[in-house]
Amino acid sequence: MKFFHPTVFFLVSFFISCNVLPFQKKEKNNDMLLIALGILANGSDWVWDLPPGFPVPNVPADNPMSKSKVELGRHLFYEKKLSGNGTMACSSCHFQSLAFADGKDFPSGITNQAHPRNAQHLSNVAYMPRLTWSNPKMTSLELQARAPMFGESPVELGLQNNNFLSALASNPIYQPMFERAFGGSGITEQNVRYALASFQRSMISGNSKYDQYTFRNNKSALNASEIRGLNLFNGEVAECFHCHGGFNFTDTSFHGGAKEEFFYHSNGIHTDAYYAGLASNKRGLFDLTGVASDTGKFRAPSLRNIGVTYPYMHDGSFMCDNANNPNITAGKTKVDCARDALTKVVDHYRSGGQAHSGKDGALIRAFPISDSQRDDMVNFLLALTDDEFLSNPKFASPF
């Protein structure tokens, strides 16, 4: 009785709800049809609920989105059985309240070994064709998860030589969840990474004051100072948009069949001499390519939710003004801290930065803006925070 396959039921009820069947009122609804074609193509029940202005992310053909995969991935993201000693999960370095950054300069894993770079936020990571600060080989979320799971330099979750699949299987919730998500293949290492990737692709953030102003036609969402800051950001004096442009505030992007684009830049935060004195895992793209001119080059981060992701830069060197311990924000609100650190960032750019030969001198060069214009720019950057994303139960711990 092939006709009664559940997918057919699902599609028929879907078409009815879309009003596109011949006996229904003929309404042109291309979106609904496109979604239905997507379901037919990959058997998935996933429907992107994208903010206005956002393109559809590209999804690898061998790991289509589905609700059950995203839900499994959410559990695994918060699952401490996914660490060598049961104390850490992905969420230990990626906190939802900080847009999945962690507020530290350098996080450490289960052996307390500091990571050479700052933990990145994960807002809209679905649109990144290359992951991490500067590794061009990190081409998918499916692949990237291997680094925190099995990496030994540094150790993060410490799962190498660890029987984490049996640990997962010991919790009776997982067998049925893996079956729903992946059918017969069950609890495997690849399925763990694929579910984590699907969950992270669902982490879309697009409801900041900026989005309300730009894409939802709410012209009172930004105040006068924030609008001045936006115009400076997108203007040819400050040049920010060349590297942090587009809906995701970065020039690295991949979506909707568009050609993937990724770039590495030096924004001049350190000198040549400084990099020459650093360990071989702290010099950016050069560590991967061995090409001298790649020293100090990194992917331009998406500036979404920048108001909660300090300390900034690959080494967290732009931080809150608290003396002694850079990671402690005592006596300051989060916004005070973000304002401190963002003021330093904009001061850095307007001064033209350090003498660094890899720096893109046409874009990173001193420009004359007043202190009050700098503050406008900081106010604009703070308007990129999407509070809904930071507390949305869809991305929160299920435990």
Selected binder of ligand HEC within 364, 382, 384, 390 (CB under 6 A) = 364
Name the residue nearer to ligand HEC (CB basis): 128 or 181.
128
Q: Does 125 bind ligand HEC (CB under 6 A)?
A: yes
**Type of residue found at 158:** G
Smallest distance, ligand HEC to C-beta of residue 93, A: 3
Phi-psi region of 352 (alpha: psi -120 to 50; beta: other; left: phi over 0): left
Selected binder of ligand HEC within 69, 115, 255, 344 (CB under 6 A) = 115
Instruction: Report CA-CA distances (Å) from 198 to 57, 58, 192, 240.
Output: 11, 11, 10, 31
Residue 26 burial (CB < 10 Å; 0-12/13-18/19+)? Answer: exposed
Name the residue nearer to ligand HEC (CB basis): 65 or 128.
128
Strand runs (DSSP E) across the chain, as ranges?
264-265, 298-299
Name the residue nearer to ligand HEC (CB basis): 349 or 389.
349
Backbone phi and psi for residue 47, each to the nearest 5 degrees, phi listed first: -125, 120
Selected binder of ligand HEC within 300, 320, 337, 384 (CB under 6 A) = 300
Name the residue nearer to ligand HEC (CB basis): 85 or 218.
85
Name the residue nearer to ligand HEC (CB basis): 256 or 361.
361
Smallest distance, ligand HEC to C-beta of residue 166, A: 18
Selected binder of ligand HEC within 70, 98, 243, 308 (CB under 6 A) = 243
Torsion, Cα 227 96 284 272, to 10 degrees, reads 50
Binding letters toward ligand HEC, positions 45-74, x by CB under 6 A: ------------------------------
* Pick from 15, 58, 36, 8: nearest CA to 255: 58
Binding letters toward ligand HEC, positions 144-173, x by CB under 6 A: xx--xx------xx----------------
Q: Does 295 bind ligand HEC (CB under 6 A)?
A: no
Count CB-CB contacts under 10 A for residue 36. Answer: 17
Residue 2 DSSP code: G
Cβ contact 367:283 at 8 Å: no
Instruction: Report CA-CA distances (Å) from 190 to 28, 62, 194.
Output: 41, 11, 6
Residues within the interface to ligand HEC (CB under 6 A): 88, 90, 92-94, 107-109, 115, 117, 119-120, 122, 125, 128, 131-133, 141, 144-145, 148-149, 156-157, 196, 200, 238-240, 242-244, 265, 267, 269, 298, 300-301, 303, 306, 309, 312-314, 345-346, 349, 360, 363-364, 377
